[in-house]
Chain A
Amino acid sequence: MNIVDLLKSILFVFNSFFLVYLIVYSTFLFLSSIIGSLILYRNSNYRKLRNELKDDYYVPVSIIVPAYNEELTIIETVKSLLNLHYKLFEIVVVDDGSRDDTSKKLIDYYSMIEIKIPIKKEIECKNILKVYEKIVNNIKIVLIIKENGGKADSLNAGINIASYPYFTCMDADSMLQVDALEKIVKPVLEDSNVIACGGNVRISNGVKLKNGKVVDYHLPNKILDSMQVLEYDRSFLASRILFDQFNGNLIISGAFGLFKKNIVIAAGGYDASTVGEDFELVIKLHVFCRMHKIKYSIKYVSDAVCWSQAPDSFANLFRQRKRWNKGLLQGMIKYKELFLNPKYGMVSFVSFLYFLVYELFSPFIELIGIITVIISFLLNLLNIKFMLMFMGIYIVFNSFLSFSIFLSRLHVENIKLSVYDFWKALLLSIFEITILRFIILTARFSAFIGYNKQKYVWDRVERKKIEYK
């Protein structure tokens, strides 16, 4: 066999692999979106036909809000939390050594009083310097001022001080929909084995919210933001619902999740040495419960909604996705035992494998794919007509898929879409699958560059002042 034949054989293998990779990905997306849509419609019917558990005294919940330099958003965030339709909760704001006036704003606004609370450090966290407290409308607001230790460390400090058996974590720049707590605790009422529930994170750019309710829905003006709306919908409503069917969710977004406190404490709390603390915690809970033979369930609640700001510049988006992939890498290295391990069942063979191949390594695989195509083209080994047709169909397929999921979501939530936004979404679904995907792939790729030096660096996204009515 001469060198050209060898090269041809290698390229054939690569081309075939690349083709199979795309087909498997499309199949996954296809199945997950079909199942996701069906379950969304089923849930919508449940609501219409009053198939729900309603109780005035749900499980008590501590809402932990880690805040670092959040002076622009913190008051609005706490105000919005005080409006929640829920009877028994407290708000724990953790100021992670902010260099701005985050704490001062809160103390002044609510006339908070310093208390000398003895703290039981059930999970390790940096020193807590001061604690303030105030009861507003029968809801306790606690402010913890601590030494800087990162988001995970702040959450651990919040858990140490939280009074209630369940806690939710959320970002200081996010807003919970008025019924979000009521919805996210429902799985706990339905099944005693539920140890964690993930909420649905939506992009608030372009949406008008009043007292925690959507009053006007539009796609954001900026194209980048709009594309992220489509992307969020696809990832939340498709894959998470599918993984939920076999208790295989590996991510509960740091922007909104509910956890059973004693299990999290027993498992060791959040890992402060990772930038993907949300991903790490969920995998840790899977491993912990399976190791100790604890019956457990981790649920995804699509109608428990948290509105979050999407990065509105390429630089911010790049930083955010780079951090996410770094966190993913750290989590997957730490729990490498989950790789093709029958002890973990579907969590290992479907969820972990999916995250490994289609999330973590996708930048490499797709880069190799592109290089292979270029070399094949140069060696005149490429069936260009076939390639263009394949790529075209692939793009149209994925665009339609995103668009279909977007429509399903709006419909089951009774959100009306203007004709303009309908066409805008349809058009942007094509750009989302091409341009946004390319940007995200590049950002993910950059997470590997200089990883050892920067693995603990939290790539911060700039915040804007939010004004929720």
Chain B
Amino acid sequence: MLRIINVIYIYLAIIILLILFNLGYIIYEKIINKKISNNTSKYKKIILNDLKHKKINQNSIDYFSRKLKNINNLRAYNSVITELIKTKSKKMDEYFNKYAVIFNRLSYHYIKYESMKKAYFAYVIRTCYFKKEVASGQVIDFIFSIIKDKSIYARENAMLFLYTNGCEELVVDALKIICKNNLYYNQILLANDLLKFRGNEKRLKDKLLLNYDNFSDEFKISIINYFRFSKSNDYLQFFLTKLENRNINKEVYLALLRLFGKYKEENALKYLLESLNLKGDELFEYRLVSASSLKIYQSDVVKNALINALKDKNWFVRKNAALSLANFELSDDDLREINSDRYAKEMLDFIMEEKEVVK
């Protein structure tokens, strides 16, 4: 019995230690926060002073190269530069160009740190907005060392650095590494992240399409979505050639159909109508997406195809067809045909009402 009591005593002791740990941690955090706050003021003075002078201050370089190896000092530094970027963005650009060597030196150290700290360092150097001309080999080596990191946050922060850095070749190389290593990159996130690219957008797009076939289907979907979200429609011919082959991955094909629902390309109409006419329950998604995409292709052929789709067996296809038809001028004959089908009429009535609610 006493042995059991001993176990309980041990637990009790550990729980007391846990409470002490909590209290200790609170005190430790307070001390750290105080230190960060003090360092923030100190670093701000140094940086403001460096901003005043055209000449590079070697002492500052040595000082920060030494101090910022500590993660909490890096936090203090980050809070200063974040604040200064808001108020003195041009001057800060110059500052980062002049003092980039600090980060080159730090890259050597942070490459050895744990993933969480690596991710933070990548976050900070991204804040510095190093243009591709400025970012040195050391920094790029550091970034590429964490592209394959097991931490999704480290990978994401590294990719965000590359988008900000604006070198299309590095971005595509990094994406190829992630893809080749089967590392996870959320589809929505990838498409949205590509929109953050600060370099030459055209060159990035060219490079992505040049390597398109080397990417996995998941990446292809994100790339297509990126082209759909971006504002230019210069690359439709490339994707049109991909639309010719319906045997490719279904989700990729659907992404292509959506792309041609955003940007009108008369030569894509054939494929959209073909997709709308595909029969079979398992192919309903093709009909569903094409019914939606056809809304921008105003013609009698499309209108009739959509009216026909209002009678589709699948409820969602009918809904999308009705949504698209709401953009067309419907004649009395069209309305008579629609009204002859209860489902079709119901759906179109709803869409018209919905438009009123939005107004």
A residues neighboring B (CB under 8 Å): 19, 23, 26-27, 30, 33-34, 37, 41, 45-46, 48-53, 55-59, 113, 115-118, 120, 133-135, 188-192, 383, 386, 389-390, 393-394, 396-397, 400-401, 403-404, 407-408, 411
Interface size class of B (residues with CB under 8 A): 35 or more
For B189, the chain A residues whose CB sits under 8 A away are 53, 55, 189
Taking chain B's interface residues, is the majority helix, strand, or loop, or is none over half, making it mixed?
helix
Q: B57 an interface residue at 8 Å Cβ cutoff? A: no
* Complex: chain A residue closest to B1, CB-CB: A386
Inter-subunit contact B315/A120 (CB<8 Å): yes
| Least CB distance, A411 to chain B, in whole angstroms | 6
Identify 7 residue pairs between A and B in the complex whose beta-carbon atoms are under 8 Å apart, listed by A's number.
A19-B4, A23-B7, A30-B14, A49-B119, A55-B193, A115-B350, A393-B12
- What sequence of 0s and 1s flags, for each residue 125-169 of chain B, a beta carbon within 8 Å of any chain A beta carbon? 000000000000000000000000001111011000000000000
A155 to B263, CA, bound (A): 38
**From residue B134, how far is it (CB to closest CB) to chain A in Å?**
22
Asked if B277 is at the interface (CB within 8 A of a chain A CB), the reply is: no
List the A side residues contacting B19 at CB < 8 Å. Answer: 400, 403-404, 407
Name the 5 nearest CB pairs between A and B, nearest first.
Answer: A51-B153, A49-B120, A120-B315, A50-B123, A400-B15
Please report B residues at the A interface, Cβ cutoff 8 Å.
Answer: 1, 4-5, 7-9, 11-12, 14-16, 18-19, 22-23, 25-26, 29, 71, 75, 116-117, 119-120, 123, 151-154, 156-157, 184, 186, 188-189, 192-193, 315-316, 319, 343, 346-347, 349-350, 353-354, 356-358
CA distance A33 to B5 in the complex (A): 20
Residues of B within 8 A of A30 (CB): 11, 14-15
Which of B8, B18, B116 meets A49, CB within 8 Å?
B116
A118 to B315, CA, bound (A): 9
Q: How far is the CB of A296 from chain B (nearest CB, A)?
A: 15
CB A159 to nearest CB in B, in angstroms, measures 14
A30 to B13: give the CA distance in the assembly, Å.
Answer: 11
A116-B15 in contact given A23-B4, A135-B357, A389-B5 (Cβ < 8 Å) = no
Q: Which chain B positions have C-beta within 8 A of A56? A: 192
- Give every chain A residue within 8 A of B186 (Cβ-Cβ): 53, 188-190, 192
With contacts A50-B119, A50-B123 known, is A120 near B316, CB below 8 A?
A: yes
- With A and B bound together, what is the CA distance between A263 and B75 in angstroms? 42
Closest to B160 in A: A54
Residues in chain A near residue B343, CB distance under 8 A: 118
CB of B316 within 8 A of CB of A45, answer no
Query: With A51-B151, A53-B186, A192-B184 given, is the CB distance from A135 to B358 under 8 Å?
Result: yes
Interface of chain A: mostly helix, strand, loop or mixed? helix
CB-based contact A404/B22 at 8 Å: yes
Q: How distant is the Cα of A403 from the Cα of B22 in the complex, in angstroms?
A: 10
**Which of A118, A386, A404 makes the CB contact (< 8 A) with B18?**
A404
| A160 CB → nearest B CB, Å | 11
What distance in Å separates the Cβ of A240 from its nearest Cβ neighbour in chain B? 18
What is the distance, in angstroms, from B181's C-beta to the closest C-beta of chain A? 16
Contact of B156 among A53, A134, A389, A404 (CB under 8 A): A53
Give the CA-CA distance A393 to B192 in the complex, in Å. Answer: 56
A46 and B357 contacting across the interface, CB-CB below 8 Å: no
Contact B18 A26 (CB under 8 A): no
Return A38 CB to nearest CB of chain B, in Å. Answer: 10
CA distance A401 to B19 in the complex (A): 8
With contact pairs A394-B8, A400-B19, A404-B19 given, residues A57 and B151 touching in the complex (Cβ less than 8 Å): no
Q: Find chain A residues with CB under 8 A from B22 CB.
A: 37, 404, 407-408, 411
Which of A55, A135, A192, A386 has the most C-beta atoms of chain B within 10 angstroms of its own C-beta?
A: A55
A396-B12, A400-B18 given. 12 additional CB < 8 A pairs? A27-B11, A30-B14, A46-B116, A51-B116, A57-B188, A113-B357, A115-B354, A115-B357, A117-B350, A401-B15, A407-B23, A408-B22
